[in-house]
Chains A and B, each alone.
Chain A
Amino acid sequence: MKMLFLLAGCLAAQNNDWLHYSQNYQAHRHSPLQEIDAGNAGKLNLAWAYTARMREKFETSPIVVDGVMYITLPPNDVIALDAETGVKLWEYRRNLPPKINVCCGQVNRGVAVAGDKLFLATLDAHLVALDRANGRVVWDVEMTDYRLGYSATHAPLVVKDKVIVGVAGGEYGIRGFLDAYGVGDGKRKWRFHTVPGPGEFGNETWAGDSWRRGGAPIWITGSYDPELNLTYWGTGNPGPDWNGEVRKGDNLFSDSVVALDADTGERKWHFQFTPHDVHDWDATQIVVLIDKEFRGRMRKLLVTANRNGFYYVLDRATGEFLHASAYVKQTWAKEIDAKGRPVRNAGIDPTPDGVRVYPQVAGGTNWNSPAFNPDTGLFYVAAREGSSMYYTGEAVYREGARYQGSFFRNEDVMEDWHGAVRALDPLSGKLQWEYKLFRAPWAGLLSTAGNLIFAGTEEGYFLALDARNGKEVWKRNLGGQIIAAPISFGTATGQKIAIAAGTGLFVFGLGK
């Protein structure tokens, strides 16, 4: 009964709210609000802004519930704001230990909500439940020892009575996992190791004991299909990143999507995008769930634009590979074969003098969210074009220290780097339109029922594009790099769009 109540509390979304990291369990990042549309978006104006001093990247994706917005600030704080005015209601400041091991900044991407609680994953690898009314800690559990290189940066996902959350640390020789904790008591209910141990399926894909330091972190929020009761999570790179010599084999379940029973954490299927990766092409992109007719029959599909440069379509009930096609320039694979396995080109592995390969180390896209609009039926991705130089080096493991095994350089090969917002046909991956960006973007996308796509640029421009043809309908310079995804919510004064940029959170509306 309690479970049902929680489920209802979680899913009974008012249109005005934004309850999940990616808006819904299918990870569409699509708002059903349609007051702001391609016809009037040219009149968007600032409704309010919240700014804070911070020395890190502002990657938050807000949650909005019952007129209150919850955002995270780097390194690990939570702020509650009045969604209408931006007035601060409370703050939670986390004291972190002095030496946190993170590859890419002391950042956080947002909270999850269920009933009267918020859930925050922390850089010292804890999961914290806060009282939604005042920010007080309800419970605080340690997932693992952060001193070994573990951290947590993504917004958790609440499914029924559990909070699902994974660990980052793919550059530190961790052994990745995904955990589920009880919403009420914070007790661990299950753990799925993304790197299988001895005797477990897939352990044989790691030479010797390399599985112990195999990485495969989880650092972006998964999705969930209530009918199948499966939750889907993209996993990160194998460790060490650019040195495959010490971990011969396919290295399951790195660079994969895993489909797990949400109640037990049991693996139902997996699909590996980049077996034995030596280019740091994590599969930590949002995995989007859509239902479409595919080759003559209705299918439950999972689609994703992967960091390795290919767009994939899978059957999400079975994991069957259905389609892949490049959505950015890539030079590493001849093709993806009928089973979904890449057929690699020669001469793409890192060398002592460096080898130039497309896509760049940060990939054709990265953690920045895609969007899916059920009305246009298109999949939208913020794409990154360009190459990197990949080098070999030594891999020496030391507890809690970086374990990358080599390095990359971009400086000498950036002449053709750029980006684009691309609309793809979700079944064929074919390009429908594109809006070119001067630099490769780190900002995610938002789709709205007003047929708009919101996007951000490295230079700080926030844009609204017509979702049907990619025409620019509005833009503003927000004065700082955008490294976050927009959301949309509603208040008494109408639909709003929110985006973090620089050191501020900016909220736009039609200004009634």
Chain B
Amino acid sequence: MRLLLLVVGSVALLTAQIRETNPFTSEKDLAEGKRFYRFYCINCHGTDGASGRGARLATKSHRVGNSDRELYQSIANGIAGSEMPGHWLDEDTIWKILTFVRTLEGSAKETCSFDEAAAERGRKLVRANGCLGCHSVREGGENVGSGRMGPDLSTMGASRPREHLKESLVKPHAQVAEKWRMASVSTAAGMKRGMLLNEDGYTIHLLEPDGRIVSLGKQGVGAVERSRESSMPAYDKLPANQIEDMVSYLCSCRGGSR
């Protein structure tokens, strides 16, 4: 409880000086915002906010909140546990970027459409193909997978376009976030392999596929080798209709109560 109070206190402090609503909404602000978006956001979110590996911005339902203030904070401070970094930008610039991002919402088109029957078939295929050994997903308010070696799937449909999800299934090595690359370290007891939780000047921490956290002193072990590839196997041998069904299932994962 005390911890909770402290956390709430810190958040209150952080948000104390941020405005509630965006003061930069003129046409000129929008034009500048578009320019800034091109500099800072386009690599991950795409020109349309819907075609990159980053979260979809062409939506009215952002994962971490829809208010001006919440989105301001996402841009300024990043989103913990995701690839979204904080940005060393002044307040005005962040608001102008948000002005442009709001126009992407306006043009929001469904980029991850699905039909229920296909999604249901996909739900079964995801289980049959062992996806939940590495991924977790929340369905109907319950965690039905506890895999730790890949991203949580619960909101994939809300934030990723269909094409990106399909690529992740059949060509998983095409775009791999740093966080999901497997790391290997040679030790006296043999090769250790897992997700890299920490590396500093003196220690390495790996999360092994069985969920154990291994701590290694850097003395006496080899350098960390990071695979360029994802630990995700390619599902390119599955029939095309099964791939489409699995993608439909992922599109249906929107963080709601499905």
Shortest CB distance B181–A (Å): 13
Is the pair A411, B92 in contact by a Cβ cutoff of 8 Å?
A: no
Is the pair B10, A438 in contact by a Cβ cutoff of 8 Å?
A: no
A residues in contact with B6, CB < 8 Å:
53
Segment from B56-64, B182-190, B197-205 that makes contact with A? B197-205
A residues in contact with B201, CB < 8 Å:
436-439, 457, 459, 461
Is the pair B17, A402 in contact by a Cβ cutoff of 8 Å?
A: no
Cβ-based interface call for A55 (8 A): yes
Considering the complex, which residues of chain B in the window 129-160 have a beta carbon less than 8 Å from any beta carbon of chain A?
A: none
Q: Name the contact of A411 in the complex, choosing from B9, B13, B85, B90 (C-beta under 8 A).
A: B85
Is the pair A438, B200 in contact by a Cβ cutoff of 8 Å?
A: yes
Q: Name the contact of B10 in the complex, choosing from A53, A98, A104 (C-beta under 8 A).
A: A53
Is the pair B85, A55 in contact by a Cβ cutoff of 8 Å?
A: no
Complex-state Cα separation, A104 to B9, whole angstroms: 23
Cβ-based interface call for A190 (8 A): no
Is the pair A391, B39 in contact by a Cβ cutoff of 8 Å?
A: yes
Complex-state Cα separation, A104 to B89, whole angstroms: 10
Is the pair A401, B90 in contact by a Cβ cutoff of 8 Å?
A: yes
Shortest CB distance A406–B (Å): 9
Task: Kindly count the residue-residue contacts between A and B in the assembled complex, taking CB atoms under 8 Å apart.
Answer: 36
Q: Which of A407, A436, A437 lies at the interface centre, i.e. has the most chain B CB atoms within 10 A of its CB?
A: A407
Least CB separation from B14: chain A residue: A55
Shortest CB distance A351–B (Å): 13
Complex-state Cα separation, A436 to B85, whole angstroms: 27
B residues in contact with A99, CB < 8 Å:
17
Contact with B along A352-391 (1 / 0, CB 8 A): 0000000000000000000000000000000000000001
Is the pair A401, B13 in contact by a Cβ cutoff of 8 Å?
A: no
Considering the complex, which residues of chain A in the window 20-74 have a beta carbon less than 8 Å from any beta carbon of chain B?
A: 53, 55
Q: Name the contact of B39 in the complex, choosing from A402, A407, A438 (C-beta under 8 A).
A: A407
B residues in contact with A436, CB < 8 Å:
201
Shortest CB distance A84–B (Å): 29
Q: Name the contact of A457 in the complex, choosing from B17, B92, B199, B200 (C-beta under 8 A).
A: B200
Cβ-based interface call for B93 (8 A): yes
Which B residues are closer than 8 A to A by beta carbons?
6, 9-10, 13-14, 17, 39-40, 85, 88, 90, 92-93, 199-202
29 A-B residue pairs with Cβ-Cβ distance under 8 Å, sorted by A, are A53-B6, A53-B9, A53-B10, A55-B13, A55-B14, A98-B17, A104-B88, A171-B90, A391-B39, A393-B39, A401-B90, A401-B92, A402-B90, A402-B92, A402-B93, A407-B39, A407-B40, A436-B201, A438-B199, A438-B200, A438-B201, A439-B201, A457-B200, A459-B200, A459-B201, A461-B200, A461-B201, A461-B202, A475-B202
Which A residues are closer than 8 A to B by beta carbons?
53, 55, 98-99, 104, 171, 391, 393, 401-402, 407, 411, 436-439, 457, 459, 461, 475
Could you list 5 further interchain pairs (A-B, Cβ under 8 angstroms) beyond the known A99-B17, A475-B202?
Answer: A98-B17, A391-B39, A401-B90, A402-B93, A407-B39
Q: Which 3 A-B pairs have the closest CB atoms?
A: A438-B201, A459-B200, A402-B90
